[in-house]
Amino acid sequence: MELLRLLWELGVRTRSSCQDYGALLASSAPGLLVGDPRWVDFYTGRVWVEMDAAHAEDLAGWLSRDGELRLAMSQWGMAESWVWTRPILPDLVGGRGRTADSAHVFFPRHHRQRVLNVLHREKTPNPGARSGGAGNEVPSRNRHYR
């Protein structure tokens, strides 16, 4: 999938993904919460990518450069809305919970091409930067590798 390849080339480590998360939920065992038709309906047609939380923050920064994506990432409960989650995990023996190291990004599949366009631009070196040979490239100011 081109999306994952571009993310990997930008240094983003992904953990899981699906081109239609609703279809994945619909195929789960009956009686499980994830098989609930309300969840299936909401997530049908949405791409899902799980990645390191710090990389999700980088991705949000890159994608916010596109006005349409920035608006979709900022709204809740609409067909165009994106969902970004970072789970809180309970301690197995009743201690304090902790925030997961990974984040989940869900976005409408019809935004895929806009996402790819932004990532291609992020990957392309700044045309205004002087190329003085190996080691003199100007990195993106928002790229953080962890």
Considering only CA atoms, which of 115, 122, 126, 128 is closest in space to residue 144?
Answer: 122
**Which helix (H) or strand (E) covers residue 106, if one does?**
strand 102-108
Answer yes or no: is 105 within a domain.
Answer: yes
Number of domains in the chain: 1
Question: How far is the C-alpha of 146 from the C-alpha of 133, rounded, in Å?
Answer: 26
Top-confidence residue, 47 or 141: 47
Phi, psi of 15 (to 5 degrees): -115, -40
What pTM value is reported for the model? 0.78
Answer yes or no: is 78 within a domain.
Answer: yes
Answer yes or no: is 56 within a domain.
Answer: yes
**Looking at residues 39-59, what average pLDDT do you find?**
94
Answer yes or no: is 107 within a domain.
Answer: yes
Answer yes or no: is 50 within a domain.
Answer: yes
Looking at residue 66, the DSSP 8-state letter turns out to be S
Tell me the residue range of the domain where 73 lies. 2-123
**Looking at residues 105-110, what average pLDDT do you find?**
96
Residue 60 pLDDT: 97
Answer whether residue 127 shows pLDDT above 50: yes
Answer yes or no: is 129 within a domain.
Answer: no
Answer yes or no: is 41 within a domain.
Answer: yes
